[in-house]
Amino acid sequence: MVDSEDTGKVILVLNCGSSSLKYDLILMPHRKSLGKGIVERIGEEKGSLEQKSDDKKLVIEQKIKDHREALELVMRAITDRDEGIIKDVSEIAGIGHRVVHGGDKYASSVVIDESVVAAIEEFIELAPLHNPPNLTGIQVARELMPNLKQVAVFDTAFHQTMPSHAYLYGLPRKFYEEFKIRRYGFHGTSHRYVSARAVELCRRHPSNTNVISCHLGNGGSVTAIARGKSIDTSMGFTPLEGMIMGTRSGDLDPAILGFLMDRGYSSKDLIKMLNKESGLLGLSGISNDMRDLEKAAEEGNHRAKEAIDCYAYRVRKYIGAYAANLIKVDILVFTGGIGQNGWRMRERICKRLENLGIFLDHKLNKEMGSKEGIVSEAYSPVTVAVIPTNEELQIAIDVYELAFGGESAFRRRQTDFNVGMKRS
């Protein structure tokens, strides 16, 4: 339970998927997670909730008809007399919602009103698998807690600072004007959080710092960030473009699709194949999990080794391309399940990047493992950092600032540091 002496705002962060609901309760401005949980198999015969806070764990198994029942179950779980996180729902001050697609309308997080709801509905055609459940979570939360301020945090918003030469495709202009076909980018909340944290860790200021951020997980993307703003990112109109991922193909010659369609594959078959059966899984024929592939490669499996090499090569290509456009790179960040935990993959990616001023400290990189910190040599012109992502915290920061006009602990520390730099 929340200590009565703790002052601040309890922010509920919600991430609604098609059949799941993740949640986290964060005390701001302390940036302290009080407890989190996940509801799974919504709409199936047997659903479940698992919640953890401190040394407590709550597991509930029952049929959960829809997202409304799921959120009602969350409310009961977080206020459970024995295993709860808070004493009463009234302790929640605001709610933050992860929303995948804000189109080209939102370049930042926003307090939710009817116009925001309408925009999320409008962009369903751009994210048909993600925006509908995100919207459902918003609607249910507004019904159950109508007096609370709620904020939408868009995955695409951070990338809305990309210049047109980065987001336009070489297609007839009418496809952009009529159908809004352009690069949008994703993982924006993660890239925004880790790049800001890296700047803080390196005691720099965003105004004179360029960052390349590598979010490497089952889905992955690389982003070029100049002076705190995204100027390019590897994911495009959908999350399918870019680097090779767990089950996604990443970049490929589009003529391949026409070639396969002429041989009997339907567009539906191909989209499924590109999203669910390609990437590391498709190349290796073994798994989409990097840990499984590294084990298989050590045992002599050629396809596993080849898949790993392809993955590292594609990430390295994006780093090189973005370094060329940034002109100077100050920090290279690794995050995500593979980026944070895979010291071997960080080593593979950084190999041959010495010509860009990227010198990994191999011993430190291995010893650091998954912990936050700097893993480059002291003489490396580019600082290489491992930063665990925390999208839930970034969402809570946005809610705290937008809904209450508060200043996050991070921004206060950044401001104090900047003032000190000016005085010196």
Reduce the DSSP state of residue 199 to 3 states and report it: helix
Distance CA 249, CA 317 (A): 15
Catalytic residues: 155
**Interacting residues of 3 by C-beta distance below 8 A, sequence separation 6+:** none
Is residue 419 exposed (0-12), middle (13-18) or buried (19+ Cβ within 10 Å)? exposed
CB atoms within 10 A of CB 266: 10
Q: Return the sign of the alpha-carbon dihedral for residues 183, 215, 278, 156.
A: negative
Distance CA 323, CA 353 (A): 10
Count of positions (residues) in the chain:
424
Cβ 386 vs Cβ 339: under 8 Å: yes
What torsion, rounded to 10 degrees, do the Cα atoms 208, 400, 230, 377 define? 50
**Interacting residues of 56 by C-beta distance below 8 A, sequence separation 6+:** 35, 82, 83
Q: How far is CA 163 from CA 105, 183, 224, 230, in A?
A: 15, 10, 12, 9
Tokens of 266: 């339907």
Cβ 144 vs Cβ 78: under 8 Å: no
